[in-house]
Amino acid sequence: MMELLAGPLAYLVFFLVIALYYALITLGLNLQWGFTGLFNVGVAGFVLVGAYASAILTTPDDPGRIGGFGLPVPVGMVGAMLSAGLFALLVGIPALRLRHDYLAITTFGIAVTLQLVALNLQVLTGGPFGMNFVPRPLYDVLGGQNGWNLAYLLFVAALVLLVWWGLARLTTSPWGRVLRAIREDEAAAAAIGKHAFRFRLEAFVLGSMVMGLAGAVYAHFIGFIAPEDFLPILTFQVWAMLIVGGAGDHRGAIAGAVLVWAIWTGSGMLLDLFVPPEGKAQAAALQVAGIGVALCLVLLFRPTGLLGRRD
Amino acid sequence: MILQQLADGLVLGSIIALGAIGLTLTYAILRFANFAHGEFLTFGAYLALLALGQFQALSTTTFGPLSFGWPLLASLAVAILATGGLALLLDRLLFAKLGRAGVAIAVVMGSFGAALALRNLLFFAFGGEPQYYSRAIQIALPLLPRSVLGGVRVTPDQLAVLGITVLLVIAMHLFLSRATLGRAMRAVAHNPQLATVTGIDVAAVVRWTWIIGAGLAAVAGVFAGLTVQIRPTMGLDLLLPLFAAVILGGIGSPLGAVLGGLIVGVAESLAVPLVGAEYRAAVAFLLLILILLVRPTGLFGERG
Amino acid sequence: MSLLKVDQLVAGYEPGLPIVRGASIRVAPGEIVAVLGPNGAGKSTLIKAIAGLVRVESGEVRFRGQDLRRLPAHRLVRAGLAFVPQTENVFANLTIQENLELAGFFLGRRRCQERVRAMFELFPDLARQRALAAGRLSGGQRQMLAVARALLVEPGMIMLDEPSAGLSPRLVAEVFAKLAEVRAEGTTILMVEQNVKAALALADRAYVLTEGRERLSGSAAELRSHGDLASLFLGGAGR
């Protein structure tokens, strides 16, 4: 059994865990954009906050920085959600009362700012070298690397199902119907005024909390985080996933995440095979540019997504 | 020290101001936040670098103490035209089509995608290493002696950037208040349908808005390259200060954008001794949040 | 010979959902023609479709024999057909003088200045406040500025969308008196109105629109004494 988990299968497990990490983020963004029409350009920032919050709470004490507090991983995950939600409030309160593109600008701003903080506030974040020894719960009990990866995959899959179930219930509830009404019709939204602001804020905070949770999931899987894990490209990947999957559809969001991540890693592997090492950075840039163009093409020709709703 | 920071802030502020004029015009007239505007700066800076290589074959003289001469000015002209062309092309291929679909946010997202593609294409073409228009070391001239609040020293290039910015801002102001096209741009920003009824070809005004906005962005990019360095991410790094300047000044107000740009530039520069140079971009973000909380229409804005 | 000839016009904001459903009207040179009708009858859509601001699906619109459907909307005013929208009909961020100068930008500088002066003579109230931003004008003054903006280019015809909307009875009388003066100078007027009484007092002829089609037409005097007028309005409004 354990031997089977080595090699390609081990890679598949690793791939799926990361894909489901993206799926979680995409589900959070789907609540914001797909259901409420909120344009969050700072996805990477909220994931970053979640990852760092959980890492600070759960890592063993480090004399070089504040914390870690050595708390249990579930506490870290709750902390991740709360802190991502807190930052969502920080930008949501000033921006959500205004026209929708203000949110785009402020979320862009907070992602830039959080990236700076992660990079420079060494006493809290470890700076450019990031944070090591983020606990991987039950690592030894579950037989180390491969067995643990498989167990973590099951855990993340369960988490995705749970979040999906919860969001599906929420979005079909009366609360979700109000969100749709707000999304479809700015005028109707204006008519309910302050009310619309509250619904928007709730959806925005909730979506950001899911992103924070995803950040924690990532941190405890890799066991090491650094600012470069949460660059603007992450925001872009998640947007590509949501658009490919079709905004407003939970299943599409998950499928889009897995599909885009497969294309992303696949094209990355091809680059590794065919591009000499000295051209790697430039080839990677070309890959990103390609995804940028692809997103524009989908927006132009398949605005409801490649896998999305048929309605 | 404080005067020196003020002077540095004004130089940075004038670069932000030039970029922000274009951003506020396209924001008001095309009605969307263009996340690719930062890449217009980068594109202009690199295009001028390319053109400079050609023009320097003809002449390498420089103006007195400045690091540059006619070749860079000619390159600047090329960069303005090329960046205007790029903006028109993007509008034609992407923004106009997405705008017609009626979902305002689709255009914003399209600009996000275009920004990513452009930035990475520039990285692909030019590599990630910083580049410079001139390797010559500039000697900073003392404007005020050390005895006066620490004194002020500026390089001739910085003075040139300030001077040209002042000229461009005055020219823009006259253009918008006097010229028919300038007034037509204000009219379209206010109410495109009424502008049509008045006989204004809105599509033509939109094209000119792209050309002028992108052209000014190219100037800002070249100035940033001249006073700092040329990198593929230079426009991305300036995007947040640009948006902060636009919102601070009030969307659609070019003079507001100039003032906003100067405020952001000076604030970033003054904050350096307090929080360290690495957090300067966060200053723009704090200003942005502050203005949204206190006065979301900006200092000169008419609309929310 | 009609100045404006609209035949079987079908127009609306969304394809397949026409609001104007086969309307036909005529306006002869020198006339004041009013288009009346209950709310939602398609009056505003009709006039905006003529002005090229609403998608026309089928039908014919000719002004001085020229096919307006082939003309981009911004070219209409140069062809001699000026339009005054109902609301938002001045550039609030420009001064009165700038509003007028912008309206005449295609006349050439000298001619434009002459016309601005002529408008200031016709509207002395505006002349006194020429450097004021139009956004700071009162409703009645805005309406005057909007009419002045349209007249500046010496159009053969002006179209007004509910010139009385939002004005007090005294201001309505003032605006309509100005329109009578304008007609006396030889400008043809087509207007959409809710205010039936004021419109029929000014107009020579009128059309009554219901459900996107003209149901009744005649001279203003005929319509004033027409018994069915009220029931058409009530019937239309009740739907």
pLDDT tens, position by position, A142-168: 777 778 889 999 999 999 999 999 999
| Span C21-49, pLDDT tens digits | 999 999 999 999 999 988 888 999 999 99
CA-nearest of C207, C175, C187 to C81 is C187
Is the pLDDT confidence value at C233 over 80?
Answer: no
Of the CA atoms within 13 Å of residue B286, those in its CB half-sphere come to: 10
Of C75, C85, C93, Cβ closest to residue B302: C93
Q: What residues contact residue A110 under an 8 Å CB cut-off, 6+ apart?
A: A42, A45, A87, A90, A91, B285
Of A91, A98, A285, Cβ closest to residue B296: A98
The chain C residue lying nearest B176, using CA atoms, is C94
CB contact under 8 A, A116 and B110: no
B107: closest CA of chain A, how far (Å)? 9
CB contact under 8 A, C88 and B191: yes
* Distance between CA atoms of residues B193 and C53, nearest Å: 8
CA-nearest of A37, A38, A221 to A213 is A221
| Span B76-104, pLDDT tens digits | 999 999 999 999 999 999 998 887 666 66
| Span B217-238, pLDDT tens digits | 999 999 999 999 999 999 999 9
pLDDT computed for residue B164 by the predictor: 95
Distance of CA B126 to CAs B43, B82, B232, Å? Answer: 11, 17, 8
CA-nearest of B123, B118, B103 to B232 is B123
| Span B234-280, pLDDT tens digits | 999 999 999 999 999 998 889 999 999 999 999 999 998 888 878 88
Chain A, window 135-164: residues with a beta carbon less than 8 angstroms from a chain B beta carbon: none
For B152-184, b/e burial (b = at least 16 CB within 10 A) is: bbbbbbbbbbbebbeebbeebeebbeeebebbb
Confidence of residue B203 (pLDDT cuts 50, 70, 90): very high
* Distance between CA atoms of residues C178 and C237, nearest Å: 30
| Span C54-73, pLDDT tens digits | 989 999 999 999 999 999 99
Q: Which CATH number fits domain B2-294: 3.30.1150, 1.10.3110, 1.10.10, 1.10.3470?
A: 1.10.3470
| Span C81-130, pLDDT tens digits | 999 999 889 999 899 999 999 999 999 999 999 999 999 999 999 999 99
A:B CB pairs within 8 Å: 133
Q: What average pLDDT does the segment B171-184 reach?
A: 93
* Distance between CA atoms of residues B46 and B73, nearest Å: 14
- Say which DSSP state B93 is in: I
Q: What residues contact residue A36 under an 8 Å CB cut-off, 6+ apart?
A: A179, A182, A183, A199, A200, A203, A204, A207
Distance of CA A283 to CAs A264, A294, B235, Å? Answer: 13, 16, 21
Confidence of residue C78 (pLDDT cuts 50, 70, 90): very high
CB contact under 8 A, B236 and A232: yes
CB contact under 8 A, A109 and B279: no
Which of C50, C55, C68, C74 best probes binding to B when mutated, by most B CB atoms within 10 angstroms? C74
CB contact under 8 A, C74 and B302: no
CA-nearest of B8, B17, B59 to B246 is B17
Whether residue C102 lies within 8 A of chain B, CB to CB, comes out as: yes
Tell me the pLDDT of chain B averaged across its residues. Answer: 91
| Counts for chain C of helices (H) and strands (E), in that order | 9, 10
CB contact under 8 A, B190 and C53: no
Question: At how many degrees (to 10) do helices A194-222 and A8-29 cross?
Answer: 160
pLDDT computed for residue C17 by the predictor: 87
Of B180, B187, B201, Cβ closest to residue C91: B187
pLDDT computed for residue C238 by the predictor: 36
Residue identified by tokens 């200060």 is: B241
Confidence of residue A307 (pLDDT cuts 50, 70, 90): low
B:C CB pairs within 8 Å: 68
- By DSSP bridging, strand C213-219 and strand C66-67 are unpaired
Q: E strands of A149-257, at which residues?
A: none
Q: What average pLDDT does the segment A104-122 reach?
A: 92
ipTM: 0.90
Confidence of residue A310 (pLDDT cuts 50, 70, 90): very low
Domain extent listing, chain B:
2-294
